[in-house]
Structure 1
Amino acid sequence: MFTFNKDIVATDCEPGVTRKILSYSDELMMCEITFEKGAKGYFHSHKHLQITYIAKGSFEFTIDGETKVVKQGDSVYMPSDAVHGVTALEEGILVDVFNPMREDFLK
């Protein structure tokens, strides 16, 4: 029921990007993604619905060919199978929520 960030070990993703899996169930997962300035979340797609909250910093997001700059306090929605990627314009943190949970993150 409770997950304490200080107890979670971050895993490496792309260069300059780390992920912490916060709370999850079969239907829902929340992750904290930390970016160094200039780091990229490479273009990809997945079956999961995804909502991302920009907790810190600013990012250039591209979703299905549309690119926007989002900043702290903004949010982004990625439908199932949408091709998306991100570049950190400064050091930052994203909070990703997935439905259903990302089983591939647990391997």
Structure 2
Amino acid sequence: MTEHDAISAAIQATAYRVVSEALTNVARHAHPTAPVRVWATQRDGQLDIVVANDLSIPATPTRATGSGAGLASLRARVEALDGTMRAGAEDGSWRVHVTLPIN
């Protein structure tokens, strides 16, 4: 069995959803040229996913503002799998950081 086989379908689907929603938020709210980083790490029975975009470039004022319902529903999905989620400004970037148990 490989490391990828050990991750359940529910965790895989949630990981996909985390990255998808975070990138959608970057497209909606960040400056169009702001760099974005996505990384995932599997260790010690957990999957860590981080999506971060640079805040040093101010967002374009005309960018759409949302209700925040996307992050709230994402948080509910993560917590339903006993995971944790943080979203907010950190170290000069806006980050969504999710940790999901894979054991």
Tell me the TM-score range normalised by the shorter chain: 0.3 to 0.5
Structure richer in helix, relative to its length: 2
Give the alignment's TM-score, normalised by structure 2: 0.35
Higher-strand-fraction structure = 1
